[in-house]
């Protein structure tokens, strides 16, 4: 709880919705959530970094560090399967 | 009719009577099976040995989305000369978790290897050849998909594979026609990409596309029924 209190309010999302169709935004959220983060903002806070490896040709996330220090590598192309689309969460601030 | 002796002079060529004669002619032994399609067993792979010893920098996931490997070190820092042939060696495996780690490990290393892949190609040939030589359906499918990924993984890899067609292509020649004629019925292996005949055709086409100008004639030499996908 102490950690939650000390977190700045900016990082707390105001709302969440579940997508019905695939889009690049969904893909982005899917990749972060697979690695155990809410989204890019939380990733930046937890890892204390501004650098995120992305594929140069389409900007998809390439590599993420999990909370336990392991690395997740992502494909060049779409990874989010159809049945995971509505399980992905899109947060708004 | 079994048991009835057939006079060859009474038989009409190219009819079933000839077959009956052949069957009843006990003096002539049946030709032995060549066993070209027979599944071959593989001895324990060194991939399995290294995995059990804990040599790989990978962690097993126990969640429901089990389609990723958690790498303990960055792939960019891995020694490709050591690890890539080992992962390829694991392609022969059919059991979990070895099969999964080998397949996914190869996938990740190829996707993120870039220029580090090309120098390792000569070391990959023997594992690829061993995997294809098992003639197991599952192993064939995985290996063919890996080969398709390999030729597009980096520049010049397709060309670098041309000298090794002699090692890789004979098994493809054997299974090229392994397809199902279901008339107008649905063959679900096509959807699942488990149809060996189709996978081989795709792989050979990828070889030709990325193998440079010598690719076609070399493929044709090993797989005579292959027709070019680019010249026509």
pLDDT tens-place string over residues A39-88: 888 999 888 888 888 999 888 999 999 888 889 999 889 988 898 899 99
Question: Nearest to residue A34, comparing CAs of A92, A90, A93, A74?
Answer: A74
- Evaluate if pTM is beyond 0.80: yes
User: Which has the closest alpha carbon to B84: B139, B133, B137, B153?
Assistant: B153
Q: Would you mind telling me the total number of residues written for chain A in this entry?
A: 93
The residue of A53, A57, A64, A71 whose CB has the most chain B CBs within 10 angstroms, and thus the best one to mutate to test that interface, is A71
Torsion, CA B55, CA B56, CA B59, CA B60, rounded to 10: -90
Nearest CA in chain B to A71: B71
Task: Output the DSSP codes for chain B.
Answer: -TT----GGGSPTTSHHHHHHHHH-TTSPPPPP--TT-----PPPHHHHHHHHT-SSEE---SS-----EESS-GGGS-HHHHHHHHHHGGG--STTHHHHHHHHHHHHHHHHGGGSGGGHHHHHHHHHHHHHT--HHHHHHHHHHHHHHHHHSTTHHHHHGGGHHHHHHHHHHHTT-----TTS--HHHHTT--HHHHHHHHHHHHHHHS-TTHHHHHHHH-TT---SS--
Collect all residues of chain A within an 8 Å Cβ-Cβ radius of residue B75.
71, 73
Contacts of A34 in chain B (CB under 8 A): 65, 68
For residue A9, the Cα-to-chain-centroid distance in whole angstroms is 19
Of A73, A76, A84, the CB nearest to B75: A73
Q: So what's the pLDDT on residue B174?
A: 93
Confidence (pLDDT) at B2: 57
Chain-centroid distance of CA B15 in Å reads 39
Three-state DSSP class for A9?
Answer: helix
* Number of helices and strands in chain A (H, E): 3, 5
Do the chains contact at A73 and B72, CB–CB below 8 Å? no
B70-84: average pLDDT: 92
User: Residue B214's closest CA among B158, B170, B167?
Assistant: B158
Q: What is the pLDDT of residue B5?
A: 65
CA distance A91 to A26: 11
Q: How far is B197 from chain A (nearest CA, A)?
A: 26
> pLDDT (tens digit, 9 = 90+) per residue, B124-182?
999 999 999 999 999 999 999 999 999 999 999 999 999 999 999 999 999 999 887 77
- Under 8 Å CB pairs connecting chains A and B tally to 31
Q: A86: distance to nearest CA of chain B, Å?
A: 15
Share of chain B above pLDDT 70, in %: 87
The mean pLDDT value for B21-36 works out to 76
Question: Cβ–Cβ contacts within 10 Å for residue B231, how many?
Answer: 7
Contact B70 A66 (CB under 8 A): yes
Q: Is residue B111 less than 8 Å (CB to CB) from chain A?
A: yes
């Amino acid at each position: 709880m102490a950690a939650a209190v000390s977190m700045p309010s900016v990082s707390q999302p105001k709302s969440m919705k579940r997508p019905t169709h695939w889009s690049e935004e969904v893909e982005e959220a899917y990749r972060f959530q697979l690695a155990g983060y809410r989204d890019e903002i939380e990733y930046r806070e937890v890892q204390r970094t501004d650098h995120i490896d992305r594929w140069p040709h389409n900007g998809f996330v390439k590599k993420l560090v999990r909370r336990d220090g392991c690395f997740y590598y992502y494909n060049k192309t779409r990874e989010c399967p159809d049945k995971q689309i509505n399980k992905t969460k899109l947060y708004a601030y | 009719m079994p048991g009835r002796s057939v006079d060859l002079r009474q038989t009409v060529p190219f009819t079933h009577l000839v077959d009956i004669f052949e069957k009843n002619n006990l003096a002539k032994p049946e030709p032995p099976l060549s066993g070209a399609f027979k599944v071959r067993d593989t001895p324990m792979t060194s991939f399995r040995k290294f995995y059990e010893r804990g040599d790989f920098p990978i962690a097993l996931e126990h969640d429901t989305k089990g389609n990723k490997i958690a790498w303990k070190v960055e792939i960019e820092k891995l020694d490709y000369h050591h690890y890539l042939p080992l992962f390829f060696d694991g392609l022969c495996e059919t059991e979990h978790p070895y099969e999964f780690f080998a397949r996914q490990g190869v996938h990740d290393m190829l996707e993120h290897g870039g220029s580090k892949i090309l120098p390792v190609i000569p070391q990959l040939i023997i594992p690829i050849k061993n995997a294809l030589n098992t003639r197991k359906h599952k192993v064939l499918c995985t290996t063919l998909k890996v080969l398709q990924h390999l030729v597009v993984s980096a520049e010049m890899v397709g060309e670098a594979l041309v000298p090794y067609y002699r090692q890789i292509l004979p098994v493809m020649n054997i299974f090229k026609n392994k397809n199902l004629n279901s008339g107008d019925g649905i063959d679900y292996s096509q959807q699942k990409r488990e149809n060996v005949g189709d996978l081989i055709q795709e792989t050979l086409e990828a070889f030709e596309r990325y193998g440079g100008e010598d690719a076609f004639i070399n493929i044709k030499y090993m797989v005579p029924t292959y027709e070019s996908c680019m010249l026509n």
